[in-house]
Homo-oligomer: A and B are copies of this chain.
Amino acid sequence: MPLTPHGSLRAVCGPAATVGTSLEGLMIAFRTPAEGAFLRAQDVRPAAHDADGLIYAPALSFPRHATAQQVIDTLRHMRPDAASSSYLFVTGEAGRLIGALSLHQLVVASPDARVESLMSPSLISLPEDLPAEEQARILSDSGLMALPVVDGLGRLVGALDAGDLLDAVEEEATEDMYRLAGVHKDEEISRPLSLAARDRVFWLIINLGTAFLAASVVSSFQNVIAHAAVLAAFMPIVAGQGGNAGTQTLTFIVRSLALGELRFANARQILLREIAIGICNGLCIGLLVGLLGWLWKGIPALGVVVGVAMLGNLILASVAGVVVPLALKALRIDPALASSIFVTTVTDVCGFFFFLSLGMLALQMGYL
């Protein structure tokens, strides 16, 4: 008996009467000739989309008292789509999900065992309104091929299988990477050039605003630079290292948020961890840059100025790399989308300000 294309069931009650399909999950009476008994197979809503665009495969469910042989005979008659039958679900009162068994468990069971004795009752199910990345994480952690998706009343909506999720997970990861770099999430080789150029230039224009902010900080120190043009050479080092360190922290935080490892609950601990890394690396890079600056230009004060500015900027980069994405998440803005722009603004603007202020001080004290 064939399935309709969207996966809901059609069935025969008695020899030839066809029962219609329904989106709401319909109860079908099946005569299983081998047993001469009626077995009820409940279909569920066919392939449903959640907010993130996940597609659930239809799932098959049976009442708790059905026997293994009855279920096998029913499947032989129904011939449902293979995708919908790697797990079979068991329902209790009011159509609520109470357990699951795999096709494998069904096949190896004694033919007269009841499904309620075969099923796993301690069932992980996915609420249908859970975000895609959460669903992926739970399914992946479960080690199962599929998990049932339920509505607010605990009724089966469908099943999420790992095969369907592979695409979704790849897509989410691509989106996060692209957003961090300011590339449109739909960009692919076949995307029209005009759209790709427009999406990317939009991001560059946004970044231009922050670049002009940094430029105005530098501009306000124009006199200092005119008197000690050597400072200009070190500007890209201070800002660049700050930007790199900020991007390291940011990428780690955005990915940890996506994988569910970072939550608001452990945010304070993570912030302290990143600040500690910032201090360690700031001391290391600050000393190194300071020494190199001194040796290169032969001006000790220049080494001190660039080294101290570097330490300050790397600590700041750690703080910004944690606080910005968390703040965006709290405001319900995708942390991957706008974080990098804010973080590099902080490291550029503050980096130049630290460095050129210290430079001005050294100039005024006659060390430069």
CB distance from A272 to the nearest CB of B (A): 10
Q: Is the CB of A189 within 8 A of B261?
A: yes
Q: Is the CB of A181 within 8 A of B225?
A: no
Q: Is the CB of A163 within 8 A of B177?
A: no
Q: Is the CB of B189 within 8 A of A256?
A: yes
Contact residues of A with B, CB < 8 Å?
A: 72, 75-76, 79, 82-83, 85-86, 102-109, 136, 139-140, 143-145, 161-163, 165-167, 169-170, 173-174, 176-178, 180-183, 187-189, 193, 196-197, 200-201, 203-205, 207-208, 211-212, 214-216, 218-219, 222-223, 225-226, 229-230, 232-237, 239-241, 244-245, 247-248, 250-252, 255-256, 259, 261-262, 266, 270, 273, 276-277, 280-281, 284-285, 288-289, 292, 344, 348, 352
Tell me the nearest residue of chain B to A201, going by C-beta: B281
What are 14 contact pairs spanning A and B, CB under 8 A?
A75-B104, A75-B108, A86-B145, A139-B163, A144-B163, A162-B163, A176-B177, A177-B177, A181-B247, A193-B277, A193-B280, A203-B248, A215-B237, A218-B232
At the interface, is chain A mostly helix, strand, loop or mixed?
Answer: helix
Tell me the nearest residue of chain B to A336, going by C-beta: B177
Contact residues in B for A277 (Cβ distance below 8 Å): 193, 196-197, 200
CB distance from A23 to the nearest CB of B (A): 23
Among A86, A106, A187, residue most surrounded by chain B Cβ atoms (within 10 Å): A86
Count this chain's copies in the assembly.
2
* Bound CA span A72–B105, Å: 11
